[in-house]
Structure 1
Amino acid sequence: MDAWAIWLIIAGILLICEMLSLTFYLLWLSIGALVGAAVAFVAPEAYFWQVVAGCLVAVVLTVFTKPLVRKYRGSKGFRDIGTELIGKQGVVVEPIEEGKNGIVKVGGDTWTATSAAPIGKDELVRVLKRSSTIIEVERWEDIY
């Protein structure tokens, strides 16, 4: 298999992982892999330069887009749904067991959820905090 095809497969896998994680870091790595594929297409035997070009692009994108993202998130009118979730009430769709994730519906969205204590299906919960795609909840009646 040609090196450029391998780079494209890597770029595709990273892009799919990015869509699942929503962090933007894997997007930059995916673009770096695309650059590696372009270099491999032009110079198939220059493996070192393929890796260097891909890494350089990924690092440059990561470094230079961080201030832009910080500026955008700090701008007036930006709403992060994750911070709005904290304190809201939800309903457990799939039970949350000790050491395992469950599913919670908050508003119109469903989220993967964890809890310090097991929570059964259809119980009311309150959102405590949110990471990238998982929320931490507690039983609603434990609050009062």
Structure 2
Amino acid sequence: MEWFRDHAWEAWLGAAILLGVAEMFSLDLILIMLAVGALAGFVAAALDLNVAVQLLAAAATSVAMLALVRPGLAKKFHGGPELQLGHGKLVGKQGLVTEPITALTPGRIRLAGEIWSAQPYDETLSIAAGETVEVFEIRGATAFVHPVPGHEA
């Protein structure tokens, strides 16, 4: 205990550095909060406060960081836009009919810079070339589409 009193600020600083480095491997934002608590202990030791005050400052700061700061940071870092891959990202997009579409004869649409075979989502519809359609579903290499009202070319 005597050594700690003589080298308190070094011990707190060392603990903060070790916790910060360990956080780089865990990436769960817990160890960095404890490192901030160790920095509070470092400040208390640098001010030559009692060891009990240093421990209290480190513990209070760590708990406050875990309770108040970590949830917001975790939500910000772990959240974000949903990543859509493949043809699923085309559902909801609009395309232009290049060949007429009926339930009996699939047509073609220009969708996201590519030509897709297309069928009407509602089998009773016929969609003329030049109309704008919205993709409701994609099955295999065929887009099932519905006309967008008021967007005829």
**TM-score bin (small chain):** 0.3 to 0.5
TM-score between the two structures when normalised by the length of structure 1 = 0.48
TM-score between the two structures when normalised by the length of structure 2 = 0.45
Answer 1 or 2: higher relative contact order, Cα 8 Å, separation at least 6. Answer: 1
Of the two, which has the highest radius of gyration? 2
